[in-house]
Chains A and B, each alone.
Chain A
């Protein structure tokens, strides 16, 4: 079983739709969690951190359930510019160099 598993996708949604991505992780050790965005043929960039209490950044909401070892990302009112691959990332507290990435979920937002 992979350490980090994501919805395989792809997700094809119309503009304005709400879409949710899920991610599960297998290592219950103390870790930090993130969502990264990767555009085609580009490097990944941080979208947002994920906190146990849940956190929101504009149209994006991230949730973490440590008991179920589950992370989610909700995008409301999808824009064409949200089209990208979204990567779930798990980082050990004491070694940010050893992060584990999910395979990514590709989102295409259509007019």
Chain B
């Protein structure tokens, strides 16, 4: 059972570099989201999508782009990495449908360090 798969698990970037965190889900969920979690804090929403072709900003969108060309994939792009973007990133998917509607399923996280 793959669920939500995100890669890479660990990445070190230099300031100013760009990169893409990949996320895929195989549960046919309509909603996908990206969160960041800083030490000792909860998850903060970066961007989310309610379906293919539709994305919107969350609480902390600056410095990040997303796209949703398919139901399955929701990559997160860091445009020009900054040390303030050092964090753990979680991709998530969910659905309003079914017995476990609104349950959020997370990927295992991506640990990003910007030096």
Q: Chain A interface (Cβ within 8 Å of chain B)?
A: 4, 6, 32, 34, 36, 41-46, 49, 87, 89, 91, 93-104
Q: Which residue of A lies closest to B34 (CB)?
A: A97
- The answer to whether A96 touches B42 (Cβ under 8 A) is no
Contact with A along B7-45 (1 / 0, CB 8 A): 000000000000000000000000111010000111111
Interface residue B50 (Cβ < 8 Å from any Cβ of A): yes
- Taking residues whose C-beta sits less than 8 angstroms from the other chain, chain B's interface range is 20 to 34
Least Cβ distance of A5 to chain B in Å? 10
Least Cβ distance of B111 to chain A in Å? 8
Least Cβ distance of A75 to chain B in Å? 19
With A45-B106, A89-B104 as known contacts, state yes or no: A97 contacts B50, CB within 8 Å: yes
Residue contacts A-B, CB under 8 angstroms, 9 given = A4-B42, A34-B103, A43-B108, A46-B104, A87-B42, A93-B96, A95-B31, A95-B50, A103-B40
Q: Which residues of chain A have C-beta atoms less than 8 A from B90's C-beta?
A: 43-44
Q: Which residue of the partner chain, among B32, B41, B45, B103, contacts A103 with CB atoms under 8 Å?
A: B41
- The answer to whether B109 touches A43 (Cβ under 8 A) is yes
Q: Which residues of chain B have C-beta atoms less than 8 A from A104's C-beta?
A: 41-42
- The answer to whether A98 touches B58 (Cβ under 8 A) is yes
Q: Which residue of A lies closest to B109 (CB)?
A: A43
Least Cβ distance of A87 to chain B in Å? 6
Sample of 14 more A-B contacts, CB < 8 Å, known A43-B108, A97-B49 = A34-B103, A41-B109, A44-B43, A44-B104, A45-B106, A91-B94, A91-B102, A96-B101, A97-B92, A98-B33, A101-B42, A101-B44, A104-B41, A104-B42
